[in-house]
Amino acid sequence: MSTGHEHGDDHAHDDHGHHHKETFVTKYIFSQDHKMISKQYLITGLIMGFIGIAMSLMFRMQLAWPGESFPIFETILGRWAPDGVMDADIYLSLVTIHGTIMVFFVLTAGLSGTFSNLLIPLQIGARDMASGFLNMISYWLFFLSSVIMVISLFVEAGPASAGWTVYPPLSALPMAQAGSGMGMTLWLVSMAIFIASSLLGSLNYIVTVLNLRTKGMSMTRLPLTIWAFFVTAVIGVISFPVLLSAALLLIMDRSFGTSFFLSDIFIQGEVLHYQGGSPVLYEHLFWFLGHPEVYIVLLPALGITSEVMSTNARKPIFGYRAMVASILAIAFLSTIVWGHHMFISGMNPFLGSVFTFTTLLIAIPSAVKAFNYITTLWKGNLQLNPGMLFSIGLVSTFITGGLTGIVLGDSTLDINVHDTYFVVAHFHLVMGISALYGLFAGVYHWFPKMFEGKMMNKNLGYVHFWITAVCAYGVFFPMHFVGMAGVPRRYYENTAFPLFDELTDVNVLITVFALIAGAAQLVFLYNFISSIFYGKKGAQNPWKSNTLEWTAPQEHIHGNWPGEIPHVHRWAYDYSKTYENGEYIIPGQDFVPQNVPLQENEEELQH
């Protein structure tokens, strides 16, 4: 626990009166304080998100108006858009880097990194993470990998452009496409560092949740946020190393002439020496992480939703134990479904059958979660704060996107929609938009906790939510039809197929919605930045929430609570709990924070 650093030992004692001298560097840059690290994660994640979303808007413009000249392309892309017409290579790069950034840098590090760091110590009643030092290293490795990824955008031959899954041989052979040279090398280096960062972070989260819970905080009293972060960290530790092995073997194939993934290749007039490798092996390794990754992205968002929704509904989350059980079931199943990305990869059809079976099973815990969220709203007293709206929006897109998973998870039906826009629509709704909503819900809800009591402007929040919600459906609902018309994804333009001529209008509609949605994110950005500086301070517990973080003072102090750490006497969801005579447990207050002891005559209800 002690890291040898002078702060290390402080976690051990409970009384925390003395003060530390902190320099600018130790406070804001190489900070070991989880609250500062969480802000670092969030801001880095948002910057990466800005880049990722901007990229998607550019390639959406290309799809809607193929071959049109846009001066903005020339400004941003330079020689990749001669006369403002986007080049086919850079189109693929944009698609690739958009996927990489959004999945890993925004929704893995930006979401889970931010809120695991902020909430784990605060909600379980700990002074800080188990190892503040590892936590700091984890963030700076993430930062380094972000910087390398951004640098890769500027290499001579262009950034990686083999799709975010970087399947070899396309990604392994520089002669196969321009982006598979230096750009791809940097992509792999960046990802390797990212994985190291993610592992350090995850190990820290697991140890902290297991060891540093305050007195009375049994596992069954943990808020669902913590359950979600904890289980997410576990699947991260299980699956990220496999991606690292895939990346390392790919680096070997690319640079040292090995043949793990390559065999029998004739390209640009010559036969290459590779023999005996298989791209299918890479696909297995990649998706062994790749699928759990979907849940690494989604589970924290669901955890945040559980907490935000229960607080704002003024009701306990419905079926707490079922929610925990479904998180565990989803996590377990998520590690044995990866093959559904490979039904038509040439893998044995019997394997396809097995993966169809496991994949459709995952719909069961997901359905339980959706129904439990809906029931949580029933007969509530819903406080429709922006965070709450994003949580409701999450459940909506989670259902819409999840349902089409029934089609894609079925090996038979996958045959004809595999790799079409149907898939793009499906996963954007179920993991992209849903996880982003989770991120936004978390930011609106815990902004006061991050920025010392300051609150974000709710009206800008409403504008942000409603425009985003309408546009998200506007973009992705029609996209299912494009996919079912047979349009493959990752096509630079569809004009080579008269078959797809009549879909141009749909693509224009989708792009217009996307551009408006992008503009709406600027409202959020403005709100976020201006609230950091000029936000109005709210109450210490603005949402009247039960969890421990709101018992900590608004000012950030090292160790979170002055004096003793609060003890926990109940679960986190005693909202609107009453005595048999209908009176609230605490008169005049419809919530009972976790640190309030059981009252006389109060029934404990199993927690």
Partner 1 sequence: MTALLTIAVLILVAIAIWQMTKIFELSQYSTENSQVANDSDNKTNGYLLFAFLIFIYAITIFSFWKYSKFLLPEAASEHGGGYDQLMLVSFIIIFFVQTITQALLHYFGYKYRGETGKKALFYADNDRLELIWTIIPVIVLAGLILWGLYTWTNIMDVNDEDDPLIVELYAQQFNWTARYGGDDNVLGDANVRMIDIDRANILGLDESDPNASDDVIVKELHLPVGRKVNFRFRSQDVLHSAYMPHFRAQMNCVPGMITEFSFTPTITTVDMRQNPDVVDKVKRTNAIRAEKAANGEPNSDPWEFDYLLLCNKICGKSHYNMQMKIIVETEEEYNAWMASQQKFGQTIAAQ
Q: What character string, x for contact with partner 1 (CB under 8 A) and - otherwise, covers 411-450?
A: xxx-xx-xxx------------------------------
Q: State yes or no: residue 494 binds partner 1 (CB under 8 A).
A: yes
Six-digit token string for 104:
């890993």
Q: Which stretch binds partner 1 (CB under 8 A): 27-35, 258-266, 431-439, 548-556?
A: 258-266
Q: State yes or no: residue 140 binds partner 1 (CB under 8 A).
A: no
Q: Residue from 134, 470, 532, 586 that binds partner 1 (CB under 8 A)?
A: 470
Q: State yes or no: residue 248 binds partner 1 (CB under 8 A).
A: no
Q: How far is the CB of 399 from partner 1 (least distance, A)?
A: 5
Q: Residue from 488, 557, 567, 602 that binds partner 1 (CB under 8 A)?
A: 488
Q: Which stretch binds partner 1 (CB under 8 A): 66-74, 103-111, 222-230, 435-443?
A: 66-74
Nearer to partner 1, 80 or 205 (CB): 80
> What Rg do the C-alpha atoms of the chain give, in angstroms?
24
Q: State yes or no: residue 478 binds partner 1 (CB under 8 A).
A: yes
Q: Which stretch binds partner 1 (CB under 8 A): 41-49, 226-234, 342-350, 431-439?
A: 342-350
Q: State yes or no: residue 53 binds partner 1 (CB under 8 A).
A: no
Location of structure tokens 């039960």? 546
Which amino acid does the sequence have at 461? G
Residues 530-549 that bind partner 1 (CB under 8 A): 535-536, 538, 542-543
Location of structure tokens 């996958």? 414
Is the backbone of residue 544 left (phi > 0), alpha (psi -120 to 50) or beta? Answer: left
Six-digit token string for 110:
């930006």
Distance CA 444, CA 461 (A): 8
Residues 142-171 that bind partner 1 (CB under 8 A): 162-163, 167, 169-170
Q: How far is the CB of 204 from partner 1 (least distance, A)?
A: 32
Residues 274-333 that bind partner 1 (CB under 8 A): 276-280, 313-322
Distance CA 85, CA 540 (A): 53
Helix axes 34-64, 114-124, angle to 10 degrees: 150
Q: How far is the CB of 222 from partner 1 (least distance, A)?
A: 15
Residues 90-119 that bind partner 1 (CB under 8 A): 92
Q: How far is the CB of 280 from partner 1 (least distance, A)?
A: 6
Distance CA 127, CA 34 (A): 9
Nearer to partner 1, 8 or 488 (CB): 488
The closest alpha carbon to 31, from 168, 145, 135, 105, belongs to 135
Q: State yes or no: residue 79 binds partner 1 (CB under 8 A).
A: no
Q: What string of DSSP letters covers 465-486?
A: HHHHHHHHHHHHHHHHHHHHTT
State how far the alpha carbon of 539 is from the alpha carbons of 35, 399, 550, 553, in Å.
Answer: 19, 35, 10, 10
Q: Are 444 and 312 in contact (CB under 8 A)?
A: no
Distance CA 153, CA 176 (A): 19
Q: Residue from 157, 336, 512, 525 that binds partner 1 (CB under 8 A)?
A: 512
Residues 365-404 that bind partner 1 (CB under 8 A): 367-368, 370-375, 377-385, 388-389, 392, 395-396, 399-400, 403-404
Q: Are 335 and 239 in contact (CB under 8 A)?
A: yes
